[in-house]
Structure 1
Amino acid sequence: MKDFANDVEAMRWNGTFYKTILSTAETGGAMSIVDSLSPVNSGPPRHIHHAEDEVLMILTGRCLFWMEGEEFIRGPGEVAFIPRGKEHTFRVISDVPCRHLIILTPGGFEGFFADMAQGQFAIPADMPAVVESASRHNLTFTGPPLE
């Protein structure tokens, strides 16, 4: 498994590592790809991406996804497609961390990860800062993480 802890280009926020491997600048805004490693039992609050379609390609581990009231599981070699405008979240349900590629079209949302890593903002303690960055990146939080 990739050693994110020793990768100087990897960002860490809330126990999750993020590394942009194809930037919005490199694609003229068309897309971006972020390599991510999420700890066991982790996952974001429910949210909506208003401007980007999101594909999560699972490399290791398994995730339970929730999208607009429907649940589904994805594991290594499988993908989850989240169309823009759909409320969603996920939680790592395996006993190993989940490494996945986050493919965004168009690109730009990866700037949210950079903001969070730079500020090391906590949810819910630092929600004003989190929400401010989210609004700049066309993201709205809509509810709690999966339990």
Structure 2
Amino acid sequence: MEQVQSASLKAYKRTSALDSSMFYMRSLMSFFAKGEDTGGRFALMEYQAKPGNEPPPHVHEWEHELYYVLEGEMEFYCEDKILVAHAGETIFLPQGKPHAFYIRSPYLRTLILVQAVGEHAVGLDRYFIKMAEPATSMNLPTEAITYLTDDPNHAIRLGAANGVRFLSPEETARELPHYPGFGVR
């Protein structure tokens, strides 16, 4: 577990390009700011995906999460709420609150911002990077593992090491009463 640091930070410029992008669970992620760039205080990523590669219900133990939808539509489940976000809309998910989402459009492009809460550095960017492989193009991959085909224990272990806890089916039913179920369309 890394902690927030007040090291001397340096200015930089970064864009969506192969050297800053990874294939993650059949999606394309570009990392504009990683925790290592910001003293662990926040990370900013662009997420491009199609329906079918959404993560299981989970909780961020160390960070708040904010989505700004650039293209497409997402449906979020957080506690007893269902929140639908279209292009130009923002969803805020507080640290410690169980949540899940579905992509409700044929294509999605969204910014994801995570902000550290307390002494822990952000971990979601590290989780994504450890679960991903370097992008070979700036197009969505067609062949890749998904949460439905990957070893769930691998995701659970990496998640726990980076402040992400996946919910059991029982926790999901209790904490997200309107969530239709993992992998359900």
Kindly indicate whether the alpha-carbon contact (under 8 Å) linking 2:59 and 2:164 is maintained by their aligned counterparts in 1. Answer: yes
Aligned twin of 1:86: 97
Amino acid in structure 2 at the alignment position of 1:7: L
Indicate how the Cα distance of structure 1 residues 105 and 135 shifts in structure 2: closer, same or farther if over 3 A, else same. same
1:67-146 to 2 correspondences below 5 Å: 67-95=78-106, 97-106=107-116, 107-118=122-133, 122-124=146-148, 125-142=150-167, 143=169, 144-145=182-183
Range with greater deviation from structure 2 (38-47 or 25-34): 38-47
Amino acid in structure 1 at the alignment position of 2:153: P
Post-superposition offset of 1:26: 1.8
Indicate how the Cα distance of structure 1 residues 108 and 140 shifts in structure 2: closer, same or farther if over 3 A, else same. closer
TM-score, length of structure 1 as denominator length: 0.86
* Alignment of 1:33 onto 2:44: yes
Computing the radius of gyration over CA atoms, which structure comes out larger, 1 or 2?
2
* 4+ runs deviating over 3 angstroms: none
TM-score, length of structure 2 as denominator length: 0.70
Aligned length: 142
* Alignment of 1:62 onto 2:73: yes
Structure 2: runs of 5+ lacking an equivalent: 1-15, 117-121, 134-143, 170-181
Aligned twin of 1:44: 55
Distance 2:125 2:162 in 1: 8
Kindly indicate whether the alpha-carbon contact (under 8 Å) linking 2:53 and 2:146 is maintained by their aligned counterparts in 1. Answer: no
Indicate how the Cα distance of structure 1 residues 69 and 146 shifts in structure 2: closer, same or farther if over 3 A, else same. farther
- Residues 9-39 of structure 1, C-alpha deviations (whole Å, 9 max, x = no match): 3111221111110121221111110111021
Structure 1: runs of 5+ lacking an equivalent: none
Distance 1:100 1:37 in 2: 7
